[in-house]
Structure 1
Amino acid sequence: MSGSRVSPQNATEPRPDRSGSDKGRPIVLAITGASGAIYGVRLLQLLARDGHEVHVTISPSGAAVIQQELDHRLDLRSVDLAPLLTLSPAWSTASVDTPDAATLARLHYHRHDDYFTPIASGSFKTQAMVVCPCSGSTLSGIARAAGSNLIQRAAEVHLKEHRKLVLVPRETPLSVLQLENMHRVAAAGAVMLPAMPGWYHGVESLDSLVDFVVSRIMDQIGVDNSLIQRWGES
């Protein structure tokens, strides 16, 4: 289910955020146990391809979903991120590049239960954090400032430091409690970006739907991209 298919299409270039002060700083990516692991993996592939420094943390449930949906097993004690950069479902024709040593050197993995990592501290400067996909339990923990694992702690850091935090839930239907949690984190400054792909951008495949969501995430964290045909563009 993995392989390398290189294509010149969908090239992306980093762009500064609205203030410009965070350009080039690391991006934090957390993958948790909601369905839709492909969104997080595809985002990691594109950020790595475009030369961003990415700090990755994965919950046990997130690893279980990756294994179930993408047929890739992870050892969370010491994750090798390289296979994720070429991981591609059988239904996908999206371009994935074999990473070189420089690309891999910009990727950092942190265990979900390790608080002694840079991303657990507000003094470690970052551009943004994305939780993709974001499970209901992770959403609840962030809303309560529980800090019961590194993912929740890093999200709390981004809220208290007033940095961009994007949460990507993939759940339907939604309970009142989940909606209340979304409201709480949005009021605290997070961006709620449910994995709800649009259909107006010339959908030709499942990849088109995945890239729609990933494109909107990249927009929110200040990374320019041409993954989709935008409204009004010819």
Structure 2
Amino acid sequence: MMRDAEPLLSLRDVSKSFTLGSNTIQALKDVDLAVVRGEIAAITGPSGSGKSTLLNLCGLLDHPDSGELLFDGQPLCSANEAQKTALRRQAIGFVFQSFNLVPVMSARDNVEFPLFLLGVQAAEARRRVGEALQRVGLERFGGHRPDQLSGGQRQRVAIARAIVKRPKLVIADEPTANLDALNAAQIVALMQELAHEHGTTFLVATHDERMLPHCDRALVLQDGVLAGGAHAH
């Protein structure tokens, strides 16, 4: 990771609250965060601390109540939904905790879907899908539907789908939670390879202690307040 690189993603004084009945829940409070190209940054903290809210904001799935968010140096406060959708489609990959795979589609078709949305030619799409499935160790399971796969296999399909379009940023919510030690190590090694060789940036929410030594930074989110972690050496 380039320590002195320009941030790919920046949050400046970002806050977000939700109304629950008659109560207002402050999910994020004046969060400052800068993640540079090729960095693997982990967000830790207890359930309910605001991790999912933070990931949704960073992935442009939601917008802050106040503060500023910049992606690749461009402020997004004035971007409309169509512009944000186009940016997500082109530059951001997602690994959701619930997988979000299409049940009637095979693993291969689930992984290919982001490329279809981008208009990638069929032959190139097939090549990329095969490579992505091979990288997560599922090349023999491309024809299986999600209900024919284990939880760990579905997780790896979701990871293949996130990386197949070669995004600048991957947002991952508990990417190793459903994986045994061997497959978790394989996914962490893949993240490191993509970060170091291709400059892919990873922002990962995790409770998995196995991941933290392999991240460049671990930051702690507690009651909506983010405490910065030092870069690993």
TM-score range, shorter chain: 0.3 to 0.5
Q: Higher strand share goes to which structure?
A: 2
Greater Rg, structure 1 or structure 2?
2
TM-score (norm 2): 0.33
